Structures are given as structure tokens and as C-alpha cells.
Amino acid sequence: MAESFDLVVIGAGPGGYVAAIRAAQLGLKVASVELEPQLGGTCLRIGCIPSKALLESSEHYEHARTSLRGHGVVTGEVGLDLAAMMKRKETIVATLTKGIEGLFKKNKIQRFTGRGRLLGRGRVQVTTPAGTTDLEARSVLLATGSRPMPLPGVEWHTDRIATSTEGLSYPSVPAHLVVIGAGYIGLELGSVWRRLGSKVTVIESLDRILPGMDLEIATEAKKLFEKQGLHFVLKSRVHAARVVEDRCVVRLDDETLIDADRVLVAVGRRPNVEDLGLEAVGIRLDDRGRIPVDHRFEAAPGVYAIGDVIPGPMLAHKAEEEGVAVAEILATGHGHVNYAVIPGVAYTHPEIATVGKSEEELKAAGVAYRKGVFPFMANGRARALGSTEGRVKVLADTQTDRVLGVHIIGPRAGDLIAEAVAAMAFGASSEDIARCCHAHPTLSEALKEAALAVDGRALHA
């Protein structure tokens, strides 16, 4: 007889594993079905975590080569041990995935390694090379994530013309790396390989980088990345890319040919919705191949979906929030995600972080706003760090002073944005932020000063 659960979660990425833990905390009997032997999904295995490990390591390498001397630190010749750098990254991933295994055990979540598929309402089949196991579930949660989008005309060639997955593990530093797409992945991995010595060309179809991000901040980012040595080709579509006699040849829409050692395609991701048995429960995808859900994340009676397979930004922390919300809806009847305050962060140097509305969005919506800007140049801690590029921008409603958006480019922007998220979640005004005591000397003072600047009274600029 099939074993029965309150909740079967298909997919153990940040959305699925967090949902499983929260549901178990609330007393539900939970099963997790995951295809891969390692828990954690794309984010942990081949995304957020390994890329951050490489960003950190490559930044150390660059500092050692270029800026340590300015601190009075004299080293011998600086060398690169790429294999050791990769091993460190893999150890971090292995430790964290083991950590989730531990959390699953602690929360008595039953794990099934195999492909999960809906057979009908409340019925999930797990397929492994050894055979199939049927599970019964009061509720099923689909959290199967996404995978890189292919590009027509671009011929995959094992690792020579490939995705971010391969871009996290090149065995040597490519002399010339072409990145297609100036979004989060293109800029983060482009930065890693540039720091390690590659010439990096980023090709982007739009006339700007980081689409959707506040334009002033994205424009400043582009200038800084160019100063670091990234080369951008904007307003260009890749028409074709293939391997010819051991070289990669990239053809742009204006027939320009670019020769490269490797090509990394990062033009977005698409939801993993195939072979899930969606038709067995009557789920029909939307026009972008995503699973439509209602305000309770229900896609069909008793079947829920979260994360990259449903509409919204494809971000690990968005999926986590949704996972918690579904678990709480199932166990208590109530759960909620505040989509207005989901931060976005590019972990480049400097980091770029954003929450709420951009200036372009406010203008398009006809909302009157005031703007306060503070440069890191005028922040004492940024000076001590030797990282003075960038600024904080606070946008507040002209009438009410309520904070509508905060955009930061600068050191540790990804950590600084948390204060803005908390403030906005509580409906803070720019004056609320400005009147909070911020420790001195910290980078967080730049946010306070930008909030003061909304009213034209920044103290240090």
C-alpha cells in the first residue's frame, strides 16, 4: 500500500526544502522528492552558493594583485591555483547540502531520491533506476525550479558553448570568454573570469545592462564594470554561435564575427514543468510556460506551486518566502508574501541591490516622489575599506514621505538593503530611517544620509 503524507514536496531547492521544513515544524507529516542526490537545488549546487564562493575567491585574488600594496601589505608574486579555488567552492556546497540533510533528519522529513510525478489528485509516483514508489498526499507542492534558456542558433558544445553550470567549473582560465546576456548571471560570472585573467566580452540585446533595475544605478554599474575591464557590446543580438576547429565563433545580427575560447549563455531561465503529470490534475501552463496559481499558491485542488515555476522574479529568497507561506496556509489557513519588498542583488563588485520601485516605474505610474542620494565617497567606513565607488538612492513619496524604493550600488549593498526592506515592510518614511541611530563608522550610515538627503539635509555631503 502507498505510504501516505500530509504534504509531498517535489523539488528540494530553496523553495521546496524550506517549505518542507516549515510544514514539518507545524506538525505535518512531510515527504520530499528530489531527483538529485544532493539537496538544495540549483541555488545551492550550481547557482547562488558556488558563484558566491568564486566571486569571493576571485576578489581576493584581484585584491592581492592590485590593492594590497596600497594597504601597506607586501606579498611575494601572487599566483592562481584554480583547482584549489574550485575545491574550496565544492567543499562549501557539500557542507551546505549536508546541512540540509541534517535539517531534514531533525524535522523527520522523509526523503525520496528520484523523479516525482503527479498521477492524479493526492497521488505522486517516484521513479528511480530501481523502479517506482507510489505516495499518497493530502497536498502536493511543486517546487521544481528552472533551467537555463537555450538561444536559437547557438549550438551547445559540452562546455565550450554552455551555461552557468559549466561556467562555474572551467578547468582553466579562458583567454577570451564571450558572455551572452548582461543580466545577473552574465555580470557575476563575467566578473569572476575577468578577475582571474580572462578578456570578457558581454553581448546584450538591449541598450542597457541589468534590465528592470533602476536605470541610473545600472548606468553607473556599467561604467564601473567597464573601468574594471569588462567589454560590453549592447544593442546586439547573437545570431549564431558554434565551435569551428576548436574555436568558438559567435555571429552577431549585424554579421560581426567574434572569436572566443568559451561562450557562456545567460539569457534567462525557463521553468521545469515537463514530465510532472500536470495534465493528470488539469493544470494548464500560461503563455510563458509557467504554472498559474491563486493567492493561496493553489494550481489545482490540493496541488500547490512556488518559486521559479510560477510567475514572479526567479530568486531563491522569493521561493523561500512562498514555501513558508504555503506550509503555513496548509497548517494554519494563513500565509502571506509581501511581493512589494522582495530585494534583488547582483553580487558583483561593487554589489548592486534594489528593493521597491525604480525611478522609471514611479514616473510611468505618475507617482510624485522625492529623491535622496548619498555617495560612498563621503562615507568614512567606505574610505577605510578602500571601496568608495557607488551611491545609495532613496525614493520617497512627495506627499507622505513613505519610502517607495531604495537602490544601492556600493560595498556590501546586498547586506545594506536588508534595512531598507525592513523599513519598507513596516511602511517607513524616509524620515523614519533618517532618525534611527546608525553605528559609526559603518556603511549603513550611507543609507541614513540618503534618507536625510530626501529632505535636502544630508550631513556629510
Active site residues: 440
> 199-203 and 231-233 as β-strands: parallel, antiparallel, unpaired?
parallel
- If one asks whether residue 184 binds ligand NAI (CB under 6 A), the answer comes out as yes
Residues 138-157, interacting with ligand NAI (CB under 6 A): 151
- Give the Å distances, CA to CA, from 29 to 13, 38, 127, 159, 331: 19, 22, 21, 42, 11
Q: Minimum distance from CB of 460 to ligand NAI (Å)?
A: 30
- Kindly state the cell numbers that stand for 271: 521553468
| DSSP calls for 393-413 | EEEEETTT-BEEEEEEEETTH
Separation in Å, CA 100 to CA 10, 19, 20, 85, 308: 16, 12, 11, 23, 20
- Which among 114-122, 275-283, 299-307, 339-347 is the span making contact with ligand NAI, rule CB under 6 A? 339-347
Contact flags string 255-294 toward ligand NAI, x per CB under 6 A: -----------xxxx-------------------------
CA distance 285 to 458: 50
Question: In the stretch 113-132, what mask flags binding to ligand NAI with x, by CB under 6 A?
Answer: --------------------
- Nearest-approach distance from CB 161 to ligand NAI, in angstroms: 13
Residue 64 in the binding site for ligand NAI (CB under 6 A): no
| CB neighbourhood size of 402 (10 A) | 15
Select 125 or 146, whichever has its Cβ closest to ligand NAI: 146
Q: Select 342 or 436, whichever has its Cβ closest to ligand NAI.
A: 342
Interaction between residue 41 and ligand NAI (CB under 6 A): no
**Number of other residues whose CB lies within 10 A of the CB of residue 455:** 14
Dist. CA 72–CA 298, nearest whole Å:
59
Residue whose cell numbers read 545567460: 266
Does residue 40 interact with ligand NAI by CB under 6 A? no
CB of residue 153 to ligand NAI, shortest distance in Å: 9
Work out whether 185 is an interface residue with ligand NAI (CB under 6 A).
Answer: yes
Rounded-to-10 torsion of CA 148, 154, 159, 162: -20
Residue facing ligand NAI at closest CB distance: 183
Task: Outline where 176-299 has alpha helix (H).
Answer: 184-195, 215-228
* Amino acid letter, residue 98: K
Radius of gyration from C-alpha coordinates of the chain? 23
Structural contact between residues 10 and 125, judged by C-beta atoms closer than 8 angstroms: no
Task: Give min distance, CB of 107 to ligand NAI, in A.
Answer: 27
Size of the site for ligand NAI (CB under 6 A): 26
> Site residues for ligand NAI, window 217-256 (CB under 6 A)?
237-238
Cβ of residue 182: shortest distance to ligand NAI, in angstroms? 5
Q: Which of 182, 273, 300, 423 binds ligand NAI (CB under 6 A)?
A: 182
Residue 43 or 434 with smaller CB distance to ligand NAI: 43
Task: Give the three-state DSSP class for 37.
Answer: coil
Give the interface with ligand NAI as residue ranges (CB under 6 A).
151, 180-186, 188, 203-206, 211, 237-238, 266-269, 313-315, 345-347
